Amino acid sequence: MINTHSVDGPVVSGANAFMAGATETIHWLAQRLSHRLMRCRQPQFAAGASALASILLPVVGARADGPAQTPSIFAPVSTPAFAIRELAMFVLGITGIIFLVVAGLGAYGLIRFRRRRGDSGQEPPQVYGSRQIELAWTVVPVLIVAVLFLVTARYIFAIEQRVPSADTLEVTVIGHQWWWEFRYPRLGIVTANELRLPVSDPAHPTPTFLTLQSADVIHSFWIPQLAGKTDVIPNKTNRMWVEPQQTGTYVGQCAEYCGLQHAGMLLTATVLTRDDFARWVAAQQAPAPEEAQALRGRELFASLACSSCHTVKGTSANGVFGPDLTHLMSRSTLGSGVARNTPENLRRWVEDPASLKPGSLMPAMQLSHDDLDRVTAYLLTLR
């Protein structure tokens, strides 16, 4: 957790975001449970419910300081995620009933047949080879599993069936150790870590189809409020789609262990109105601005090793190992969510990336104090 405490402000690291998600989910379940219990006539249940609420409510208060968005699967905003919640509720319902039946019978057995004073201590009559009982405990579970299997298969096929149309936005997601590259091939945009999508309203359905590829090892792309989890595998192309119906920023995280900075692979999807999205596209398509006062830094950037890993459109820098920096300052974080994108953090990142993200594949460039200032000043113009 070195990274999150060493930078200004409450940076949403992947781990933090997911802890908050777990808290949110527990809170959601507890709230529903306590509402149910409060309505119960039995006074002992009502007392239990208010005790439970008093334990859990401070958790809600504490949450307000944390990240504003939490990736709860119980708060979907996109078509596949709605379907997944529906299915999850169905499975939770069936398994909940199984739990109640099994735990209920267990408790009944324990209480009804407990040892009493005056028991002879003899073993009760044993039942051997009852065909009825054996059939019952084989057939019933097989039927339950078959129902769960068929319902799940129906949901999977319904989600897979969606085909892209002419209006579909296509984005290629490339997992890297340890950041996300987003390419919009039809729009000529390349960016990193912060996905921008248009909202889909019933009048203009605009789903986004994602093509998932990896540059190195297996990663997994997961923004719980938008869709299910899909692995990002080297030499294999996976496809998925999302159709967000609400504007806002939704956080996600690499969900497959991929090395030292697996937890430092935060991603966000910001869903914009159609107009805002068009504005963002126009701004991203523009070449990097050239500002006279940043000329020295620009030359340094081109002459140093920076340009062999990073692209800045409209300059000689055309490397593809690291993130495209053409509009670096339009992004709110550095290093895939490990630090806020402030001038101080940016300078520190160029000086020694490992101080913010240990294991980062970008080397420390060993620049002099002045050169560091110049390169940072140049990067700050890349809006």
Residue 334 β-bridge partners? 339
Residue closer to ligand CUA by CB (options 198, 353) is: 353
The least distance separating ligand CUA from the CB of residue 64, rounded to whole angstroms, comes to: 29
Q: Does 256 bind ligand CUA (CB under 6 A)?
A: yes
The least distance separating ligand CUA from the CB of residue 3, rounded to whole angstroms, comes to: 15
The least distance separating ligand CUA from the CB of residue 177, rounded to whole angstroms, comes to: 7
Residue 213 contacts residue 232 (beta carbons within 8 Å): yes
Q: Does 175 bind ligand CUA (CB under 6 A)?
A: yes
Q: Does 254 bind ligand CUA (CB under 6 A)?
A: yes
Q: Candidates 49-57, 111-119, 253-261, 299-307 — which segment interacts with ligand CUA by CB under 6 A?
A: 253-261
Q: Does 323 bind ligand CUA (CB under 6 A)?
A: no
The least distance separating ligand CUA from the CB of residue 294, rounded to whole angstroms, comes to: 33
Q: Does 265 bind ligand CUA (CB under 6 A)?
A: yes
Q: Does 262 bind ligand CUA (CB under 6 A)?
A: yes
Residue closer to ligand CUA by CB (options 15, 52) is: 15
The least distance separating ligand CUA from the CB of residue 336, rounded to whole angstroms, comes to: 9
Q: Does 272 bind ligand CUA (CB under 6 A)?
A: no
Q: Does 257 bind ligand CUA (CB under 6 A)?
A: yes
* Window 208 to 247, contacts with ligand CUA (CB under 6 A): 219
Residue 242 contacts residue 196 (beta carbons within 8 Å): no
Residue closer to ligand CUA by CB (options 265, 306) is: 265
Q: Does 357 bind ligand CUA (CB under 6 A)?
A: no
Q: Does 83 bind ligand CUA (CB under 6 A)?
A: no
The least distance separating ligand CUA from the CB of residue 218, rounded to whole angstroms, comes to: 8
Integer CA distances (angstroms), 241 to 77, 186, 261, 287, 338, in order: 13, 16, 26, 29, 27
Residue closer to ligand CUA by CB (options 4, 34) is: 4
The least distance separating ligand CUA from the CB of residue 266, rounded to whole angstroms, comes to: 10
* Residues in touch with ligand CUA (CB under 6 A): 175, 178, 219, 254, 256-258, 262, 265
